[in-house]
Structure 1
Amino acid sequence: MSDGFQFLDIILFAAIAGFLVLRLRSVLGKRTGHGERPQHDPFSTTQRESKQGAPGGEDRDKVIPMPGRGQRGDSVTDSELRQAAERAETPLSAGLTQIKLADPDFDEEGFLKGARGAFEMIVNAYAGGDRDTLRQLLASDVYQDFERAIAGHEQAGEQVETTLVSIRDADIVGAELEGRTAFVTVKLVSDQINVVRDAEGNVVEGDPEEVTEITDVWTFARNTRSSDPNWTLVATRSPDADS
């Protein structure tokens, strides 16, 4: 009888975990996680930049009009998107305006709320080696970098411990509409405790008593013509990458 109750508990906990992941992705879908990191750091990847140009680099001022009109932006023409970009005072406002025209449901405040939640879940999933959660929230190239870092720690017999003390700030610093895809870049400033221990539990990196302020720049993407409301993390970098 005791084994039966334990089996039911396992099913219940698995169901709750699955619900939390789906809930977070739902929140992100409504538009609504500087310093040093461990040596194997997946958060410094630049997959999107290598393929489509860095949001903060020389391509930042280039806004490519959406060639077609999707389910949410059927009434928006390419000409209207170009005119909106021309009237905007900054590349950021131009990008946000175009995204809102393509997807009227987009809301900065709600998006940032979801980005904070995604940041917390992804940071904790990486530290815990939770590949299933990461696979649901990351683009394939970004996931591969995270997975390699996790595997490296596992092969070395190391354990990553991350305590996300707080997320101090989250700001949208970049926005672009490239074809039918919206890209929104967020700068997140957080206080964290990061420690790596060896197989014997000895600290090999970090300090369990030290809280470090860390700044991350993450880019999320979504196809505005898709009925799927979820956003995916497509690139991560540090602010130093923009200098």
Structure 2
Amino acid sequence: MGTGLLDIIILGAIAAFLVLRLRSVLGKRTGHQGGREYDPFHQEQMRRRQEQARGRGEQGGEPSGEEDKVVHLPDSRGDAGREEAAPDYGDRPGAAGLTRIKLADREFDPDQFVQGARAAFEMIVGAFAQGDAKTLRPLLSDDVYSDFAGAIEQRREAGERLETTLVGIKSADIVDADLRGKTAFVTVKFVSEQVNVTYDEEGRVVDGDPSEVETITDIWTFARNTSSRDPNWSLVATAAPN
């Protein structure tokens, strides 16, 4: 066998060896990839965790390699078992209750809650006027839903329809808050401008004035189980100001 042919055989063997080594490394799956379909919800959770980790790194420095291997589980004292300072809501109404709710639910924020309450108010007022019980059902407690559904049914039996135009919400303010067991209760005072007109089957006005904008005050109480994964609140009570 010639020297040239021997060199070719040796080089070919080396190339084959390198190819096998590369395939063994590049073709390897790690973690939970094997046999798992792409899960957008899992990816979103991972993205949020990465953002939170980056936020902690910016506040307290980059974590060490050993810390990267530790999975911190939140407990009632706060993230990673650290004692969480009680928030100070000053002299705002319901401050003590807001503090208890915040300690029970780290994600609770009074200002964000009010934004959600305003959106719920608009949705509930609109759905009630339209007689849309399906939309109302998940937003209301059983007792409140029963009252709303009963009023919708009475209107339907009388052949009447209600038209409500929510001109705007002038204000929405927390006036009370409490934590009873694991259930949080937050009461909001809404002051809104509305046009409410009830028509009969013939289209005649039986109540209200289509040209009159009324200023209406509603006091609504929302509740949520702070131990639940469901972030939604339910309307559990409605009242008029004294």
Q: Give secondary structure in 2 for the equivalent of 1:220.
A: strand
Q: Which AA in structure 2 matches 1:95?
A: G
The 1:181/1:191 distance shift into structure 2, 3 A limit, reads: same
- Is 1:220 aligned with 2:231? no
Pairs within 5 Å for 1:88-237 = 92-237=94-239
Q: Could you tell me whether the CA contact under 8 Å between 1:95 and 1:175 is conserved in 2?
A: yes
Residue by residue over 1:200-236, the C-alpha shift from the partner in whole angstroms, topping out at 9 and shown as x without a partner, is: 0000000000000000000000000111111100001
User: How many angstroms does 1:108 deviate by?
Assistant: 1.1
4+ long deviations beyond 3 Å: 87-91
User: How many angstroms does 1:88 deviate by?
Assistant: 7.6
Pairs within 5 Å for 1:12-161 = 74-75=76-77, 92-161=94-163
Q: Which AA in structure 2 matches 1:229?
A: P
Q: Give secondary structure in 2 for the equivalent of 1:239.
A: coil
The 1:72/1:94 distance shift into structure 2, 3 A limit, reads: farther
Provide the C-alpha distance between the structure 1 equivalents of 2:231 and 2:92, rounded to a whole number of angstroms.
27
Count how many residue pairs are aligned between Structure 1 and Structure 2.
Answer: 165
> What's the counterpart of residue 21 of structure 1?
none
Q: Could you tell me whether the CA contact under 8 Å between 2:165 and 2:195 is conserved in 1?
A: yes
Provide the C-alpha distance between the structure 2 equivalents of 1:170 and 1:101, rounded to a whole number of angstroms.
24
Structure 1: runs of 5 or more not aligned: 1-70
Q: Could you tell me whether the CA contact under 8 Å between 1:73 and 1:103 is conserved in 2?
A: no
Residue by residue over 1:68-97, the C-alpha shift from the partner in whole angstroms, topping out at 9 and shown as x without a partner, is: xxx976228xxx9xxx79x98677110000
Q: Could you tell me whether the CA contact under 8 Å between 1:72 and 1:104 is conserved in 2?
A: no
Q: Which AA in structure 2 matches 1:155?
A: E
The 1:88/1:169 distance shift into structure 2, 3 A limit, reads: closer
Structure 2: runs of 5 or more not aligned: 1-72
Q: Which AA in structure 1 matches 2:173?
A: D
Q: Could you tell me whether the CA contact under 8 Å between 2:93 and 2:175 is conserved in 1?
A: no
Residue by residue over 1:85-139, the C-alpha shift from the partner in whole angstroms, topping out at 9 and shown as x without a partner, is: 9x98677110000000001111111111110000000000000000000001000
Residue by residue over 1:170-195, the C-alpha shift from the partner in whole angstroms, topping out at 9 and shown as x without a partner, is: 00001000000000000000000000
By relative contact order (CA 8 Å, sep 6+), the higher-ranking structure is 1
Choose 1 or 2 for highest CA Rg: 2
Q: Could you tell me whether the CA contact under 8 Å between 1:116 and 1:170 is conserved in 2?
A: yes
Q: Which AA in structure 1 matches 2:111?
A: E
The 1:157/1:233 distance shift into structure 2, 3 A limit, reads: same
Provide the C-alpha distance between the structure 2 equivalents of 1:136 and 1:209, rounded to a whole number of angstroms.
33
